[in-house]
Amino acid sequence: MARTRSRLTATQETAEGTRRGVIGSRLNATGRRKAVTGGTIRGAELRTAALFIAPGFLLYAVFMLFPFIQSIYYSFTDWNGATVNMPFVGLANYIDMFKDPLLWSAGWHTVVWIVVGTSVPVAIGLLLALLLWSNTKFVVFFRTLYFIPFVIPVIVTGIVWGWIYHPLFGILNSMLEFFGLDSLTRGWLGDPNTALVAVIVAAIWGSFGFVTVVLFAGLQGVDRGIVEAAEVDGASWLQRARFVIIPMIAPVLTLVTAITLIGGFAVVDYIIIMTQGGPGTASEVLGSYAYSKAFEQNSVGYGATLSILITVLSLVAAVAFLRFREREQ
Amino acid sequence: MNSKLAQARAVNRSASGAAVAPPGRARHAGGTLLKYVILGFFALITAYPLILVVSTALKDPLQISVNPFQLFSSFHPQNIVDAWQIGQFGSFFFNTVKITVPVVALVVALSVLAAYALARLNFPGKGLVFLLFTLGLMIPFTSVMIPLFYQLRDMGLLGSIWAVILPAVAGSAGFGIPLGVFLMRGFYLDLPNELAEAARVDGATEFQVFYRVMLPLSAPGVAVLSVLVFFQTWNTFLLPLLYLPGTENRPLATGLYQFAAGRTQDYGLIAAGALIMAVPVLVIFLIAQRQFVKGVTTGALKG
């Protein structure tokens, strides 16, 4: 096998060599042309670049960068969204924020969301990806099925899980009754003790397939020979996964964890759809709290401050991840 | 090292011996069974909510009051017709199309151009432009949603489909120009330079090089991007919730939300509406699964 591989690379090398030769001669041709009309060509390139980038960048700047900078400005004001001028209050919103008990509870719920909503789908996704990878039949069927929840609209996911949690007709309570656990039955979204976790479970249903598919794609780069050698050496399935396979897909694993985790800071839609932060504030997270402050309670300035907090937290997480990845490589 | 490996293998072999071989095989079979049990369990968890939607969408109104969520206790496709007409899901559907098509077209057109310039042309400030685009991948919607509301109001766009289209194209909902630039730049960086050079030698202008040579070569990338943007825009919920308050241009996402909030007991029609919204996404996903998975994984693996 080694011999065929080396022969392959040899032919590739010669092919590349001839190709490089061709490019070389072409480069010479353009090089000569450039020498004659260098200035205008570069001018044309600059004009083309400007024309190509301007429309996209303009839209992006007006509807993304500009409102982002506006957010920062709003956070220094006490604006209620109605008056013409925006009363400038400096850092008052930021100081208020740390004294706001609702912020701390929403922050805690966000931490729960991030920890549970990241570790569970990553664990399930890793398990399923490893199982699919180990000579499994119907791989395409399972992979396709697992991925479907990820493409289903969040509004549909939210509504259906609301039905699963239904106090009278939901399958969750029916199953608990079936197993004689009647004492555990409840209206899962209406009970302050379970509302947040119930929403997180729906979100996990919507995301574990994404993790599975990305990790499964990462596993395609793993050399089966090494894993089989470990098997011959008597490593159990768990040992092979832990010491052989997972280290080889560590970068993908870190990445998919980071994507899921960073998304958790800003989550709004699941909460708005399933509980509106309730009952009371039992499932309020930072994103939904910013939403309700700005759009329901007319505290636009304070809402913007919360959104800046979310941005800073997710940017810090993103940068920390990038650093971690650099060190890993 | 090789000899050590061989030694370990030999030890292993002598330790297990002939007598242990059959249980080993049995354990292997048990492992295989366990594997399919786990895969099947998660397949069931994945499938149940989907089946529940289909079953409820086909439920007779009389059965609904008995138990709305008993699977396939009746067959009443009239719900879907009623949802389409009485529930206005037909008009929500066309509004969603009116929003999704321009978003996909604009994101593809604008990011293909910008990405090409960033990958294949040289100009001052290139690094900064790319950095600013990449920043868009990291800014969550929450960070722009509040000022964007007042900005769209002042522009007189609130309530028109452009109040969703323009922010979506800009990347507010996630998959807009920033993702497009990022994804397509990767494609253009990977394309061989010879063809472009050959075209330049033949006297093609920069635009011709792009349009005639590089753009056709990047068709697979364009397909991936289109599929991703389609699915994100079709599903987008917060943009229309905030910026399309009226009923006139209401898309499926908020149409379904308002309908479900207002007629909580109409499970059959709610499910039919959910089906109307989910089926196009599912069909496109099944047709373009390769592009979809590729987009999600390259987006993830390169990000």
Reported as a single tens digit per residue, the pLDDT across B235-263 is: 999 999 999 998 889 999 999 999 999 88
pLDDT confidence tier of residue A238, bands split at 50, 70 and 90: confident
**The residue to which tokens 């080694």 are assigned:** A2
Q: Are residues A189 and A237 in the same domain?
A: yes
Between A224 and A35, where is the model more confident?
A224
Q: What is the mean pLDDT of residues A117-145?
A: 93
Q: Are residues A229 and A121 in the same domain?
A: yes
CA distance B169 to chain A (A): 8
Indicate the average pLDDT of chain B: 85
Q: Where are the alpha helices (DSSP H) in B236-266?
A: 238-243, 252-262
CA distance B138 to chain A (A): 7
| Residue-level pLDDT at A155 | 97
> In terms of CATH, what superfamily is B89-302?
MetI-like (1.10.3720.10)
Q: Are residues A109 and A45 in the same domain?
A: no
pLDDT confidence tier of residue B300, bands split at 50, 70 and 90: low
| Residue-level pLDDT at A100 | 94
Residue A235: inside a domain: yes
- For residue B136, the chain A residues in CB contact (below 8 A) are 60, 64-65
| Residue-level pLDDT at A188 | 93
| Residue-level pLDDT at A81 | 86
Q: Are residues A103 and A22 in the same domain?
A: no
What the block records as the tokens of B17 is 């011996």
- Summarised one tens digit per residue, pLDDT across range B38-83 is 999 999 999 999 999 999 999 888 777 777 778 877 788 888 888 8
Nearest CA in chain A to B201: A30
End-to-end CA distance of chain B: 37
Mutation target for B interface from A64, A114, A164: give the one with most B CBs within 10 A: A64
Q: Where are the domains of chain B?
A: 89-302
- Summarised one tens digit per residue, pLDDT across range B174-196 is 789 999 999 999 889 888 888 88
**Residue B142 near residue A289 (C-beta atoms within 8 A):** no
d(CA B195, CA B32): 51
- Summarised one tens digit per residue, pLDDT across range A259-269 is 899 889 889 99
Between A117 and A238, where is the model more confident?
A117
d(CA B168, CA B242): 13
In this complex, do B167 and A33 lie within 8 Å of one another by their Cβ atoms?
A: no
Mutation target for B interface from A52, A213, A222: give the one with most B CBs within 10 A: A52
| Residue-level pLDDT at A38 | 45
User: Would you call the peptide bond into B216 cis, given omega within 30 degrees of 0 as the criterion?
Assistant: no
pLDDT confidence tier of residue A221, bands split at 50, 70 and 90: confident
Q: Are residues A33 and A107 in the same domain?
A: no
Q: Are residues A274 and A134 in the same domain?
A: yes
Q: Are residues A182 and A48 in the same domain?
A: no
* Largest separation between any pair of C-alpha atoms in chain A: 88
| Residue-level pLDDT at B5 | 45
Between A17 and A217, where is the model more confident?
A217
Q: Are residues A106 and A41 in the same domain?
A: no
Short-list B116, B100, B98, CA closest to B180? B116
**The residue to which tokens 């033949």 are assigned:** B202
Q: What is the CATH number of the domain that holds A226?
A: 1.10.3720.10
**Least confident span in A27-31, A58-62, A240-244:** A27-31
Q: What is the mean pLDDT of residues B280-297?
A: 87
Give residue A114's domain range. Answer: 93-328
What the block records as the tokens of A174 is 């029916």
pLDDT confidence tier of residue A34, bands split at 50, 70 and 90: very low
In this complex, do A310 and B142 lie within 8 Å of one another by their Cβ atoms?
A: yes
End-to-end CA distance of chain A: 29
Of B9, B141, B260, the CB nearest to A266: B141
Indicate the average pLDDT of chain A: 85
Helix (H) and strand (E) counts in chain B: 16, 0
Q: Are residues A111 and A29 in the same domain?
A: no
Q: Are residues A172 and A230 in the same domain?
A: yes
pLDDT confidence tier of residue A31, bands split at 50, 70 and 90: very low
- For residue B301, the chain A residues in CB contact (below 8 A) are 214, 217-218, 252, 255
Mutation target for A interface from B11, B146, B162, B244: give the one with most A CBs within 10 A: B146
CB-CB neighbours of A229 under 10 Å: 15
Q: What is the mean pLDDT of residues B140-151?
A: 94
Of A64, A147, A218, the CB nearest to B139: A64
Between B3 and A328, where is the model more confident?
A328
Q: Does B129 touch chain A (CB under 8 A)?
A: yes
Residue A77: inside a domain: no
| Residue-level pLDDT at A32 | 38
Q: What is the mean pLDDT of residues A320-329?
A: 81
Of B142, B166, B253, the CB nearest to A268: B142
| Residue-level pLDDT at B25 | 53
Contact residues, B window 150-179, toward A, CB-based 8 Å cutoff: 150-151, 166-167, 169-172, 176-178
CA B156 remoteness from chain centre:
30
**Least confident span in A8-17, B18-27, B259-268:** A8-17
CA distance A48 to chain B (A): 7
Domain count, chain A: 2
| Residue-level pLDDT at A41 | 62
Residue A220: inside a domain: yes
DSSP string, A20-75: HHHHHHHHHHHHHHHHHHHHHHHHHHHHHHHHHHHHHHHHHIIIIIHHHHHHHHHT
Q: Are residues A315 and A187 in the same domain?
A: yes
Q: Are residues A24 and A133 in the same domain?
A: no
| Residue-level pLDDT at B68 | 76
Contact residues, B window 261-290, toward A, CB-based 8 Å cutoff: 267, 270, 274, 277-278, 281-282, 285-286, 289
In this complex, do B31 and A159 lie within 8 Å of one another by their Cβ atoms?
A: no
Residue A133: inside a domain: yes
| Residue-level pLDDT at B52 | 94
- Summarised one tens digit per residue, pLDDT across range B82-99 is 889 888 999 999 999 999
| Residue-level pLDDT at B206 | 79
| Residue-level pLDDT at A285 | 96
Sequence letter at residue B66: V
- Summarised one tens digit per residue, pLDDT across range A241-294 is 889 999 989 888 988 998 899 889 889 999 999 999 989 999 999 999 999 999
The answer to whether residue A201 scores a pLDDT higher than 90 is yes
**Residue A183 near residue A295 (C-beta atoms within 8 A):** no
* ipTM of model over 0.85: yes
> pTM of the entire structure?
0.86
| Residue-level pLDDT at B26 | 56
In this complex, do A159 and B256 lie within 8 Å of one another by their Cβ atoms?
A: yes
Of B16, B50, B143, the CB nearest to A307: B143
> Residue A277, exposed/middle/buried by CB under 10 A (0-12, 13-18, 19+)?
buried
